[in-house]
Amino acid sequence: MLWVKAFHIVFVASWFAGLFYLPRIYVNLAMVNPGSVAEYERLVLMAGKLLRFTTLLAIPAVGLGLWLWLAWFWGAKGWLHAKLLLVLLVLAYHWVCARMYHRIRQGQALRSHRWYRWFNEIPVLLLLAIVILVTVKPF
């Protein structure tokens, strides 16, 4: 079970790295000068590649997490249920990032770079809460 836990941590860390960086690309896209088509297209391409890679990392992270959850389900405490709720919020955040990418790719209006900067803080807060729940197990 320790191998499963180790790989789960590696995939979660990699998944979050993508979730931290993808909105930063959106910040840069929102700041592109209107005449800079090449720069805009390059950033859209980068965002698409990062989104695909991040999604591929999320699959084993969630799968291994389910494996661990099923192993501990019968003795689960409240902290684990709270963590699972936060994981669902991370998955929702990932889905929102994907929707944003598809809207950007279709040429729909971008939000301001300030909005994306604030949006970029959400996974940091979610990760902080998840790590605290898993290590401290407050309830």
- Provide the terminal-to-terminal Cα distance of the chain, rounded to the nearest Å: 23
Q: Is there a contact between 26 and 44 (Cβ–Cβ < 8 Å)? A: no
Locus of tokens 């209006």 = 109
d(CA 99, CA 81): 27
User: Using 50, 70 and 90 to split pLDDT, how confident is the model at 121?
Assistant: very high
**Mean pLDDT, range 125-136, rounded to an integer:** 97
Closest CA to 16 of 67, 63, 54, 68: 54
User: Using 50, 70 and 90 to split pLDDT, how confident is the model at 127?
Assistant: very high
d(CA 16, CA 120): 11
The 10s digit of each residue's pLDDT in 39-87 is 999 999 999 999 999 999 999 999 999 999 888 766 678 898 899 999 9
d(CA 39, CA 41): 5
The 10s digit of each residue's pLDDT in 4-43 is 999 999 999 999 999 999 999 999 999 999 899 999 999 9
